[in-house]
Amino acid sequence: MSILYHENSKTFHLYNDRISYIMTVMRNGQLGQLYYGKRIRDREDFSHFLETCERPMSSCIYDDGKSFSLEHIRQEYPSFGTTDYRQGAVEVRQENGSSISEFIYQGYRIEEGKPALAALPATYTEKAEEAQTLFVTLADSVTGVRVELLYTIFAEGGVLARSARFYNEGEQTIRLGRAMSLCLDLPDRDYIWQQLSGCWARERHIYSRNLEPGITSIGSMRGNSSHEQNPFLVLKRPFADERQGEVIGISLIYSGNFRMQAEVDAHDTLRILAGIEPDAFEWKLECGESFQTPEAVMVYTDRGLNHMSQTFHKLYQKRLARGYWRDRVRPILNNNWEATYFDFTEDRLIEIASKAKECGVELFVLDDGWFGGRNGEKAGLGDWKPNPERLPNGIKGLADRVEGLGMQFGLWFEPEMVNKDSDLYRQHPDWILSTPQRRQSHGRFQYVLDFSRREVVDAIYEQMAAILREAKVSYIKWDMNRSITECYSTAWPADQQGEIYHRYILGVYDLYERLTSEFPKVLFESCASGGGRFDPGMLYYAPQGWTSDNSDAVERLKIQYGTSLCYPVSSMGSHVSVVPNHQVFRNTPLHTRANVAYFGTFGYELDLNSLTKEETEEVKEQIAFMKKYRQVLQFGTFYRLESPFGGNEAAWMVVSEDRRTALVGWYRVLNCVNGRYTRLRLEGLDPSACYWDRRSGQCHFGDELMYAGLITSDETAGQTPGGVEPCTDFESRLYVLEVE
């Protein structure tokens, strides 16, 4: 890996063994983008990549010709207002009302490793040799604003991390109306755009479309990254698939309002922008102040979607997630939410926990309803003290009893919210985000605390820390069950109201940072009504997230498959729940529910006492199985094999680092009579190793399994030959393949 600067041609070349990223200082002093893609050899001058062709009717900068129009030039960090009519990366508003700026190259420096970003989650290095960071400085002479563009190239994988830092070194207060994390101008639009979209209980389904002239965009204006759109996009060449072809993935490490967009111009060039959503954003920068954008991560590969995903998985597992739990297999948990909802007592919880312990569960989690006057959705949020009617011995008493059973204890919080029926609200009615003289809209009867205020974050921190200091809590589920409306903070002046959404998220990050620092061994799981804030920003603090409130095995196929495009298996909270399922009322076999949930953190979302004797024995086997294989399942290399979006079947697999163990999950939604012959071509195996298939007792070589395929045809469909267990709808199989 290296970052080179060619003095004569003023060209930067960032490269490792997979990618090259090349940019140059153009004749007008601005930065031009020359190349991004597969590694190419270095040379002194790449200026032939700079296309400045003469186009009629263009707005030009120089008197000497018609060819230098920013409108048609690929740039690095374009600004609003001169000759580029596409949407730009930056907009600086001056006191006189002008919004024009022109950022001119000033200089650069290179550092080994990667700097932390002030108050924001970001990828990191542990050793300086893992990455190099280029800082390119640009300045606008009229406003005196300086911007530093940060580019970190990692030694491993086709990974570039980018962000921008603004410094107001002028003599007037300015306002940033737009400060994107990344701009990427590409020479053509011959890509399929893929996004992860959905809604509550249907998160992160994969949607694809062609890029046509104009703007294609996704984003969130909800204050959280949202169920609806995920801050992640893929650009893949039309013929690229899971196994081969050029793919670019862009991921934003941010949990608040965001925008990611592709703009195709009249000449089919493509501009990608990613960063904080510019609508409802304006950041005031007094003289001497600075502003750091969130980080965006770009992954390029010419080896298909699976390889792109694996690159993200590894980076986010090892160099975004942090702390004690980063590299550890996750405890198998039992959460009481779907077992009891709000209806429980301490003894009832112990009854559930005892059965869980008997089955081998390691962590019992008490969900919503344990605090203040929380007997339902309408009261209690904000009062993080145990309800003595439900928990006469407090959290400590319950935690001690659970620990006494030989299990760990976990607890649910929703730190950012308050019900009006709470002591916190009665004492501080001004602590919610709301606009004066306007209606206060609720979501699930709750209001959003103003986390842009330090004293609010302090107060919640103190309440949570008091519980964690007193009781042995090993896990926290941090929930967030509504988006922001009427965003306004009475603590901030009128001309800083455009900062509140971002300041809110900074407050959330601050609380996470303080809690994870004081309680480094507590495992945090993020949650927002399921997967409403399942983003890389959260992964920095919480190495796992509740993927969706929808725990139906069939629904989960699409949700987990889509999520895997960017996020590792170790980050996906996935549990076995009861049938009929509480979200879709579907009956799926117990083994299928487990076969889906194994590809995640694994746990149970039910009262195991409610199962039959046979089912209990099956659960015990599932737990023993997960304990044996979770290292591979959670930290192995994950491959998508067959998409649930394509038809009736789905499949995925993981392979251990030493390639001696592979686990293949195969799923069929509806049974069919006399079905076709089916095979799964596996991936990532050692071609010459012999893998024992534990289901059939047969041995297959890795090359057979990868090139001829694992035969999954169903011998029981249509008829039930003697002695063979008939298959039905929602069938699944887990193939365990091991080299002895």
Question: Which residue numbers are catalytic?
Answer: 479, 549
Closest approach, Cβ 530 to ligand DGJ, in A, equals 5
Q: Between residues 272 and 527, which has the closer beta carbon with respect to ligand DGJ?
A: 527
Q: Between residues 170 and 198, which has the closer beta carbon with respect to ligand DGJ?
A: 198
Site for ligand DGJ in 665-704 (CB under 6 A): none
Closest approach, Cβ 204 to ligand DGJ, in A, equals 15
Buried/exposed 688-721: b ≥16 CB within 10 Å, e otherwise: ebebebeeeeeebbbebbbeeebebebeebeeee
CA-closest candidate to residue 553, choices 518, 580, 531: 580
- Pairing status of strand 131-140 against strand 363-366: unpaired
Q: State the greatest distance between any 2 C-alpha atoms of the chain, in Å, as a whole number.
A: 88
Residue nearest to ligand DGJ (CB): 368
Stretch that binds ligand DGJ, among 125-133, 523-531, 662-670, 728-736 (CB under 6 A): 523-531
Closest approach, Cβ 573 to ligand DGJ, in A, equals 9
Q: Between residues 165 and 202, which has the closer beta carbon with respect to ligand DGJ?
A: 202
Give the angle 443-448-452 at the CA atoms, nearest 5°: 155
What single letter denotes the amino acid at residue 469? Answer: R
Cα torsion 450, 454, 457, 458: sign: negative
Token output for 599:
């590809």
Stretch that binds ligand DGJ, among 352-360, 390-398, 458-466, 522-530 (CB under 6 A): 522-530
The one-character DSSP state at 564 is: T
Check binding of 509 to ligand DGJ (CB under 6 A).
no
Which member of 143, 529, 581, 601 binds ligand DGJ (CB under 6 A)? Answer: 529
Stretch that binds ligand DGJ, among 76-84, 164-172, 525-533, 585-593 (CB under 6 A): 525-533
Which member of 219, 278, 530, 636 binds ligand DGJ (CB under 6 A)? Answer: 530
Check binding of 549 to ligand DGJ (CB under 6 A).
yes
Token output for 407:
């299990």
Q: Between residues 311 and 336, which has the closer beta carbon with respect to ligand DGJ?
A: 336
Check binding of 203 to ligand DGJ (CB under 6 A).
no
CA-closest candidate to residue 86, choices 189, 161, 160: 189
Q: How far, rounded to the nearest angstrom, does the alpha carbon of residue 140 sit from its chain's CA centroid?
A: 34
Q: Between residues 601 and 732, which has the closer beta carbon with respect to ligand DGJ?
A: 601
Q: Between residues 193 and 337, which has the closer beta carbon with respect to ligand DGJ?
A: 337
Closest approach, Cβ 549 to ligand DGJ, in A, equals 4
Closest approach, Cβ 529 to ligand DGJ, in A, equals 5
The one-character DSSP state at 351 is: H
Q: CB–CB of 76/31 below 8 Å?
A: yes
- What mask, x for binding ligand DGJ by CB under 6 A, covers residues 295 to 334? ----------------------------------------
Closest approach, Cβ 367 to ligand DGJ, in A, equals 5
Check binding of 370 to ligand DGJ (CB under 6 A).
no
Closest approach, Cβ 171 to ligand DGJ, in A, equals 50
Which member of 368, 416, 535, 555 binds ligand DGJ (CB under 6 A)? Answer: 368
CB atoms within 10 A of CB 127: 9
Site for ligand DGJ in 61-90 (CB under 6 A): none
Indicate the Cα dihedral angle 309, 184, 216, 303, nearest 10°: -30
The span from the CA of 548 to the CA of 538, in Å, is: 15
Q: Between residues 132 and 474, which has the closer beta carbon with respect to ligand DGJ?
A: 474
Closest approach, Cβ 337 to ligand DGJ, in A, equals 5
The span from the CA of 305 to the CA of 311, in Å, is: 10
Give the angle 80-81-85 at the CA atoms, nearest 5°: 80
Cα torsion 535, 539, 544, 545: sign: negative
Q: Between residues 231 and 410, which has the closer beta carbon with respect to ligand DGJ?
A: 410
The span from the CA of 599 to the CA of 102, in Å, is: 49
Q: Between residues 524 and 546, which has the closer beta carbon with respect to ligand DGJ?
A: 546
Contacts of 505 (CB under 8 A, 6+ apart): 223, 254, 255, 256, 451, 537
Closest approach, Cβ 382 to ligand DGJ, in A, equals 14
**Partner residues linked to 205 by β-bridges:** 197
N-term to C-term CA, the chain: 38
> What's the Rg (C-alpha) of the chain?
27
- Count of residues that bind ligand DGJ according to CB under 6 A: 11
Token output for 508:
């959330």
For the chain, the residue count is: 740
Site for ligand DGJ in 441-480 (CB under 6 A): 479
Q: Between residues 368 and 683, which has the closer beta carbon with respect to ligand DGJ?
A: 368
Check binding of 337 to ligand DGJ (CB under 6 A).
yes
Closest approach, Cβ 604 to ligand DGJ, in A, equals 13
Do you find a cis peptide bond into 536, omega within 30 degrees of 0?
A: no
Which member of 367, 499, 535, 607 binds ligand DGJ (CB under 6 A)? Answer: 367
Q: Between residues 412 and 602, which has the closer beta carbon with respect to ligand DGJ?
A: 412
Which member of 546, 599, 639, 730 binds ligand DGJ (CB under 6 A)? Answer: 546
Check binding of 483 to ligand DGJ (CB under 6 A).
no
Closest approach, Cβ 548 to ligand DGJ, in A, equals 8
Buried/exposed 246-257: b ≥16 CB within 10 Å, e otherwise: bbbbbbbbbbbb
* Exposed / middle / buried, residue 605 (Cβ in 10 Å: 0-12, 13-18, 19+): buried
CA-closest candidate to residue 451, choices 409, 408, 511: 511
* Phi, psi (rounded to 5 degrees) for 13: -130, 110
Stretch that binds ligand DGJ, among 39-47, 208-216, 526-534, 653-661 (CB under 6 A): 526-534
Closest approach, Cβ 444 to ligand DGJ, in A, equals 8
Q: Between residues 34 and 365, which has the closer beta carbon with respect to ligand DGJ?
A: 365
Check binding of 527 to ligand DGJ (CB under 6 A).
yes
**Partner residues linked to 325 by β-bridges:** none
Q: CB–CB of 389/343 below 8 Å?
A: no
Q: Between residues 259 and 558, which has the closer beta carbon with respect to ligand DGJ?
A: 558
SS3 of residue 397 by DSSP = helix
Closest approach, Cβ 528 to ligand DGJ, in A, equals 7
Check binding of 412 to ligand DGJ (CB under 6 A).
yes
Which member of 33, 163, 481, 563 binds ligand DGJ (CB under 6 A)? Answer: 481
Stretch that binds ligand DGJ, among 5-13, 265-273, 524-532, 639-647 (CB under 6 A): 524-532
Q: How far, rounded to the nearest angstrom, does the alpha carbon of residue 637 sit from its chain's CA centroid?
A: 18
CA-closest candidate to residue 665, choices 601, 730, 599: 599
Check binding of 416 to ligand DGJ (CB under 6 A).
no
Where do runs of H (alpha helix) occur along 321-368?
337-340, 346-359
- For residue 176, give Cα distances in angstroms to 271, 496, 578: 21, 11, 50
Q: Which residues bind ligand DGJ (CB under 6 A)?
A: 337, 367-368, 412, 479, 481, 527, 529-530, 546, 549
